Amino acid sequence: LAASVSHKPVLNGGDGSNQHPSQTLLDLYTIQKEKGTLENLHVAFAGDLKYGRTVHSLVKALKHFNPTIYFISPRLLAMPDYLLDDLDDAGIKYHVCEHFADCLNAVDVFYMTRIQRERFPDPEDYEKVKGVYVINRDNIEGKCKDDMIIMHPLPRVDEIATDLDNTRYARYFEQARNGIPVRQAMMTLSLEEVHTGDK
């Protein structure tokens, strides 16, 4: 709405449970930096895929890089149909799983999200699914690729155990740090556009 009436650039820093494009830029930067490519990766998204705006935006971006995607969630929090239709139209392969053990050995990037209490219109629905997915050293080590990376848009609640924080898989703190230069670049480009437009 702001962008439709503004004559100046508008940066979307997350709009409710819809999209989060600025997070997607830092996520893509993190994946490129850690994996050396964005092409042909196997990417798993776990947790709240219905209300998770970071997931919505990243999936839309990844479809340009021929990924294979795994969606891991309770049915109550499944990926919205319009985004799956978008992947179908683009010819992107994806799988719907109820547990991460079903695909862990194939995954290059594991993107975990928290179950967001504030997004649920019915508190009882939240109680049904809270804590449904928790990854820790015991349930992933020896079951995933040695070079798999774990990402998370943060903050976390209990879905990633702290015993993973110092492992070779954890990239969520680096991911958060990468937000600084990426968002600086976005602001710089926007300010340059404003300045150029004022001349």
Q: What digits encode the pLDDT tens for the residues 113-159?
A: 988 766 666 667 656 667 678 999 999 999 999 999 999 999 998 89
Task: Name the DSSP letter for residue 155.
Answer: -
Residue showing tokens 């703190």: 173
The 3-state DSSP class for residue 43 equals strand
Q: What are phi and psi of 186, to 5 degrees?
A: -60, -45
Rounded to an integer, what distance in angstroms lies between the CA atom of residue 124 and that of residue 193? 47
Rounded to an integer, what distance in angstroms lies between the CA atom of residue 63 and that of residue 159? 26
Instruction: Give the pairing of strands 149-151 and 109-112.
Output: parallel
> Residue 70: exposed, middle, or buried by beta-carbon count in 10 A (0-12, 13-18, 19+)?
buried
What ranges in the chain are assigned the alpha helix state H?
2-5, 21-35, 53-62, 81-90, 123-129, 137-140, 172-198
CB 43 within 8 A of CB 108: yes
- The low-confidence residues of the chain, meaning pLDDT below 50, are 199
What is the pTM (predicted TM-score) of this model?
0.89
CB 21 within 8 A of CB 57: yes
What per-residue confidence (pLDDT) applies to 123? 63
Q: CA-CA distances (angstroms) from residue 192 to 7, 13, 189, 196, 198?
A: 14, 19, 5, 6, 10
What per-residue confidence (pLDDT) applies to 3? 84
What per-residue confidence (pLDDT) applies to 64? 96
**What phi-psi label fits residue 174: left (phi over 0), alpha (psi between -120 and 50 degrees) or beta?**
alpha
Residues paired with residue 109 on neighbouring β-strands, in sequence order: 43, 149
What per-residue confidence (pLDDT) applies to 194? 63
What per-residue confidence (pLDDT) applies to 125? 63
Q: CA-CA distances (angstroms) from residue 53 to 56, 61, 129, 169, 192?
A: 5, 13, 18, 23, 28
CB 52 within 8 A of CB 113: yes
**What value does the mean pLDDT of the chain take?**
90
